[in-house]
Structure 1
Amino acid sequence: MGKQEAAEALGLQALAWLVANDDLLPVFMDASGVGADDLRAQASDPALLGAVLDFLMMDDAWVIAFCDTIGAQYETLMQSRQALPGGEQVNWT
């Protein structure tokens, strides 16, 4: 499995975790403007998965809770985010 595929798989896990979180899902939907139908229709869209990872990385507690749930290292989220569209690191030098 390549980096992009692994990142998408982690993004799908993050989306599933988020959908199962009754407290956090409405916050994501309000912040992103994504509706329930959009989530279903775009669940495999790498851009949406990147947005989910961006959202989770806004709060260390969310990163810890998600990573502890799936048994992943905390830095895995950032590494996966970099492999998805819009996650490239920009070097301004």
Structure 2
Amino acid sequence: MDHPSDAQPADAPLDPGALALSALAWVLTDDDRAARLLALTGLTPDALRAGLGDTGVQAAVLEFLAGHEPDLVLAADALNVAPATLAAAADALARAAGTR
């Protein structure tokens, strides 16, 4: 049985890395979108797989979405977050990776 103390508060900050991985899973559900991610980020499938835990790779995934508003809005809707939340996570990850 779940206890109220076990639940994350509704206003708790979301983990940027977890958001990036969820967003990547969403991107990969569409072959054309996945191919565009690889083309625009310069990542290879192997580099993407190897870099799943890397903040730079995670930032690249979210920056890819932030760079194309229709995908950003669709991804945010699918992940049940605001588009601004994904954009903020991209910024946080880029800062952590030292690319911003």
Q: Same fold (TM over 0.5)?
A: yes
Aligned to 2:91: 82
Secondary structure in 2 matching 1:84: helix
Identify the match of residue 29 of structure 1 among 16, 34, 38: 38
Structure number with higher relative contact order (C-alpha < 8 Å, ≥ 6 residues apart): 1
Q: How far apart are residue 23 of structure 1 and its match?
A: 1.2
Q: How far apart are residue 82 of structure 1 and its match?
A: 2.2
Distance 1:36 1:68 in 2: 26
Query: Percent of pairs identical after alignment?
Result: 28
Instruction: Please list every run of 5 or more consecutive structure 1 residues that lacks an aligned counterpart in the other structure.
Output: none
1:66 and 2:78 are equivalent in the alignment: no
Q: How far apart are residue 28 of structure 1 and its match?
A: 1.2
Report runs of 4+ in structure 1 exceeding 2 Å deviation.
Answer: 85-88
Tell me the TM-score normalized by structure 2: 0.76
Secondary structure in 1 matching 2:46: helix
Structure 1 or 2: more helix by fraction? 2
Aligned to 2:47: 38
Larger Rg: 2
**How many pairs align?**
88
Amino acid at match of 1:7: P
Tell me the TM-score normalized by structure 1: 0.81
| Aligned CA-pair RMSD | 2.4
